[in-house]
Every structure is written in C-alpha cells, then in structure tokens.
Amino acid sequence: MSTDEQAIARDLSGRIATLLEQNDQSDPARFLGARFDAGLAWVHFPPGRGGLGLPQSFQAQVDAELEAAGAPGPAKSRNGIGLGMAAPTIAAFGTDEQQQKYLRPIFTGEHIYCQLFSEPGAGSDLAAVATRAVREGDGWTVNGQKVWTSGAQNAQMAILVARTDPSVPKHAGLTYFLCDMSDPGIDVRPLRQITGEAEFNEVFLTDVHIPDSDRLGDEGQGWRVATATLNNERVAIGGSAAARESGMIGPVARAWREQPELRDPAMHDELLRLWVEAEVARLTGERLRQQLEAGQPGPEGSGLKLAFARLAQTISGFDIELHGEAGLRYDDWSMRRPDKVDFTGREPGYRYLRAKGNSIEGGTSEILRNVIAERVLGLPPEHRVDKDIAWKDLPR
C-alpha cells in the first residue's frame, strides 16, 4: 500500500470511528442514513451521493470495520435489486436531482426495488419489449405487461424499460425509467413456482403516468442503460463475496462429514470434483471483484453467473442422490411470498427444485453464452435478420 493509500485508509478509519461514536446503532435506518451522509455507503460514489470519490477498493475496509463493530448494514437480502442494480445505474446515468432523490432511500432501505424488464413475449430478448411509453405533456403514459418480477409485492420503486419509438430498430427505440410502484394502474399478481412459493410476479401497467424527471438517461438510450444494469446484476449473482463452502456445496459437504451413513464410495470422486469446481468459481469471483475495484462491471460477470447456475443445479442433483429417499421429501409445499430466497437453509428437495430457476433468472444461460462468445471471446455474432428493421415491422 502506497503512502497516499495509507493516508486514505487512516482517514476512513477516523470517519468510521466518528460515525460509530455519534450515531445510535439501535435504529438501523437512521444509522444507515448517517453512514450515507458521511460518504461511507459507496465510497467510490461522488461526495454528497453516499461516497467520497475514492477508489472502490476502499469499500472493503469500510464494510469490514463496520461489520466488526456490529453496526447494521444495508438490507442486501431484501433489496438486492436496489443496492446491486438500481443504485449503480442511477449513479452512472442519473441527473444530480435523481441521484440526490433516490440513492439515499435505496441505501437506508426505505425504497425496495423490483425490476420491470422481462415480458411474456420478450424474456431473453430484452430489446423486443412491447410495453409502450407515450409522451404526454411533462410525462409518459405507460401500458404493458411485465413478468418474472421478483419482489414486486414488497417494492416501493421499480426500474423499467419501455418502448418509446416503434419506428426504429428494436435496440434503438427503448427508454429507461424509474417507476413508483404505488402509482395508480399498477397491478401485481403472484406467479407460483415449482417450489410452491411465489417469489415472482406478473405486473400489469395500465395508463401509468411517469414524470419525465424520472426518465433515466436520454430518450432512446434505454438499451445502453439496461445493459449496464444487467452487467451489475450478473456480477451480483455470480460474483458476490463468498466464504469457502458457501452456497450449494456447503450443506452437501456438511452432510458428508456429519452423516457417515450417507457416504457412498462411488460418490466420493463426484463430491470432490464438485467441491473443486465450487472453489474455483468462488476464487474466480474474488478475482473479478478485485478487478472491478478499478472500473465498471464487464461481460466477465456473465461467465460467473453461467457457472453459478450450472453448479447450483449439478450440486443440488448430487444432494438428492446423496440423501436417497430422504432427499425427495419436501416438508412445506405451500403458497408463500418469501422476502428472500434461502438456497442453503432448506431441505435438499427444496434446493433441487429452486435451483432449476438459476439458469433463467438474471439472464438465461443460452443468452449468457452468446454474451461470452461475442463480447469476451470476440467470436462472430449470430446472424440477426431483425437488426435494421423497425420494431413495428417485425413479425410477432
């Protein structure tokens, strides 16, 4: 660490000590607000916007020192979309007014976010969305349907992509908005999954008014803004900080150690192979996070997310085999609306069923392979006959 970096680290420690000394930690929302105001929410964000304009690498120090002090942290499990997707997108593309209005409530947990991107006819092909936003005076009127919307039943805000110009090719006619989920005309309906739960929703928008001040980025720039959001999402899904034997491999390894009666010599090599793959994926994620400290998320996150989905499904299948008949039991197949997904704290049957969604949510594995091929490996893109055709002229 250079002399300048040491000075920054000492200054941060002083700021953290002051924050802890002057603020009551028993009220998490108030404490997080004070942390935001002190520039210790996202240190790489601009001053006055939750940051100090420092390199992102110093965020780890802030998080570690506050965690060691037992201070409350942001609700990542409840507001992953807000913290991991909406906040960095607003910081990158939002106006000063938008950053001032929306970043602090995301960090304090006052605004829980959902993502209004996918549609019944445009899931993996985000550029094909049909939800329309029509300019009317100082705002936009939005009509359409979104699907697979996690947490919409609890959300105060949403990030929304809608078509504002059907006369240009599909990638060019999109615009990105911030949407108040309490506005009239928004109807949230649960979608029941194979697990019996309803994490996801379909959302209907009927004559929803969004002020132009809540447009994020320029009109027609929605594809660029959404791409940045999705890059952040894939890093969050595939490259979040993880300890050894976290994730799906954890309960499997514990069962192998703690329940000798489950051990099968024929399965030993397969368990070792999966353990090594999980550790390689974890270390790759750590390396990516270190790279991101100096820049923005790139397409490498797609590779991690792809590996995460494949591994989760393979390990959960192995988990079922390891437990035999007991692995098929499912203790609570009931209609619930969970605030967060518990991948590792439930029985093997639940983990097996829930992992089936990992290759769909956050970008299908098929689409991610295209991203890796074209943007990482530099392979020729797939032939697209609709690339230069106006969206309104495309067959649907």
Give yes or no: residues 371 and 233 share one domain.
yes
136 is catalytic: no
- Its domain, for residue 196, covers 113-220
Model confidence at 238, pLDDT cuts 50, 70, 90, reads very low
Identify the domain boundary among 220, 247, 272. Answer: 220
Distances (CA, A) of 63 to 22, 66, 73, 239: 18, 5, 8, 17
User: Would residue 323 count as lying in a domain?
Assistant: yes
User: Would residue 393 count as lying in a domain?
Assistant: no
Give yes or no: residues 52 and 159 share one domain.
no
Enumerate helices (H) and strands (E) in the chain, giving the number of each. Answer: 12, 8
Specify the CATH number for the domain of residue 167.
Answer: 2.40.110.10
Dump pLDDT digits (tens) for 335-394: 888 777 777 778 899 999 999 988 988 778 888 898 889 888 899 988 878 878 998 988
Rounded to whole angstroms, the Cα distance separating 300 from 308 reads 13
Dump pLDDT digits (tens) for 256-291: 999 999 998 889 999 999 999 999 988 888 877 776
| Helices 300-323, 265-292: inter-axial angle, 10-degree rounding | 160
User: Would residue 383 count as lying in a domain?
Assistant: no
User: Would residue 386 count as lying in a domain?
Assistant: no
Give yes or no: residues 177 and 204 share one domain.
yes
User: What pTM was computed for the model?
Assistant: 0.86
Q: How high is the pLDDT of residue 149?
A: 93
Give yes or no: residues 99 and 135 share one domain.
no
Identify the domain boundary among 220, 239, 263. Answer: 220
| Contacts of 2 by beta carbon, 8 Å cutoff, 6+ apart | none
Find the catalytic residue in 65, 119, 233, 300.
233
Specify the CATH number for the domain of residue 77.
Answer: 1.10.540.10
Give yes or no: residues 53 and 99 share one domain.
yes
Q: How high is the pLDDT of residue 116?
A: 97
The number of domains in the chain is 3
Q: Is the model's pLDDT at 8 over the cut of 60?
A: yes
